[in-house]
Structures are given as structure tokens and as C-alpha cells.
Amino acid sequence: MGKQFSLTAKDNHKLGAYRADPQGAPKGGMVVIQEIFGVNKNIRGTADEFAALGYAAIAPALFDRTKRDFESGYSPEEVAEARKFIASPDLDAMLRDTQAAIDELKSAGPVGIVGFCLGGSIAFLAATRLNGLKAAIGYYGGMIAKNAGEKPKCPVMLHFGATDPSIPLGDIETIKQQRPEIEVHVYDGAGHAFSNSDRPNYHQPSAQIAGKRTQDFLAKHMKK
């Protein structure tokens, strides 16, 4: 369904991206932000799913500044390699690349963003620091709590697993207290990466509920 193409950030950095378009006129655009595993099969599939829902979807390759076309599976060795990309992440650069994807989608109508793991944090920061978004959804973003003092410019929904060892429940409470306007959902029995069907932590009941909530949230806030 999709195609590979190139985006240009405001500092003239050219990055790869995957784009999936709906059949017929789009009802809006969705930026899909990767986990630490690059724009891999799962992220491309997520973009395809949003296209099937009627959105033009773009997944920018946020690691292209470090290693072009990086994508990874989920073996212990691959996870260890992928973690190197976030040892000292350049969030400002990732946000510049995210803004390029937002700008590319403006012709499709209202633009939203969804991100997973690293991408969940980027989606939240995009809502607070970038322009042109109507809605933002973050799944298990580990850097959100320490940035919760930042006020989003658009409605935000966040999804967390109750048994995620990398995001303590205390962090989720911090987000709720500092950002009471944000819709926060915590899923019992779900850990980190609970919505990724390609990973061992996939928790289908929680993923289905979160997916439905995400769709309803977008329908509410992404009206033309």
C-alpha cells in the first residue's frame, strides 16, 4: 500500500520516510513515530492501518541522521543495538524531522500524530513544541513524565501499561497531576510495547481497547 520517499527538515537534512495513502480523498493526515527499531515492518503496518481508516500516513525515519535506513527486529541482540540510538538522543533534531512530516501532510487536512515508546515521547513533545497538530497520541513514552511541565497546544491522549517496568506508576501519576487536561489510560495486565503484535509483550485485549480509543479520539479532534 505504501511507498518510500524523502522529506527535508528545516535545517536541510534529508530523511527517509514511509507514506501510505487511503483510497479516495483523505480525511486528514497522521504522522506515525517509530519505536527505537526504526521504520520497520510494524511501523509501516501501522501507517497502512491508518491509511485504511482514511488518513494519509507518514512515518519519518528519525534515526537517519545517525544511520540511514536503520530498521530492526526484536531479538536481544537487536534490542541492544537499537538502544544505542537513544543513549544520548538529539530530541531537537528528531522534532525537526517530525515537523517536516507534519508539514508534508497539511494538504491532506487536519494532522495528528501517534508514537510508540520513543515515539510516544516524541508525540507528546510534538504536541507541546511543534506547530500544525490537531491531536496527539502517545503509547508508553518513557520521557513524558520529566517533560510534563510543558503545556500541549492540542488535545493529547496517552496509553500506558500498568506493569511496564520502564515507566513506574509514579511517573504516570506525575503526568496526571501536572497535565490534568490530558486523557491518560492505564491498562491492567499490560507491559511495555503492549500494542505491538510483533513483540512478546503484546497484550491483545489492551491493544484493542487502546486502538478503539485512539480512533474515537481522532474522530473527535480531527474534524475538517
Average pLDDT, the chain: 97
Buried b (16+ CB within 10 A) or exposed e, 12-41: eeebbbbbbbbeeebbbbbbbbbbbbbbbe
| pLDDT at 48 (0 to 100) | 98
What distance lies between CA 159 and its chain's CA centroid? 11
List the single range of 26-30, 82-86, 122-126 with lowest mean pLDDT: 82-86
Name residues whose C-beta falls within 8 Å of residue 220's C-beta, 6 or more positions apart in sequence: 155
| pLDDT more than 90, % of the chain | 97
User: What's the CA gap between 144 and 141, in Å, rounded?
Assistant: 6
Strand-by-strand arrangement of the 2-8 sheet = 2-8, 14-20, 55-60, 28-33, 111-116, 135-139, 156-161, 183-187
Alpha helices in the chain (DSSP H): 41-52, 76-83, 91-105, 118-129, 169-178, 204-221
Write down the pLDDT at residue 224.
Answer: 75
Coil vs helix vs strand at 33: strand
Taking Cα atoms as reference points, which of 108, 116, 149 lies closest to residue 132? 108
- One-letter amino acid identity for 107? S
What CATH number was assigned to the domain covering residues 2-221?
Answer: 3.40.50.1820
Cα(117)–Cα(98) distance, rounded to whole angstroms? 15
- Domains of the chain by residue range: 2-221
The closest alpha carbon to 129, from 154, 112, 158, belongs to 154
pTM over 0.75: yes
Query: Could you tell me the three cell numbers for 68?
Result: 540511514
How far is it, in rounded angstroms, from Cα 188 to Cα 127?
26
Is the pLDDT at 1 greater than 90, yes or no?
no
Going by pLDDT thresholds of 50, 70 and 90, the confidence category of residue 211 is: very high
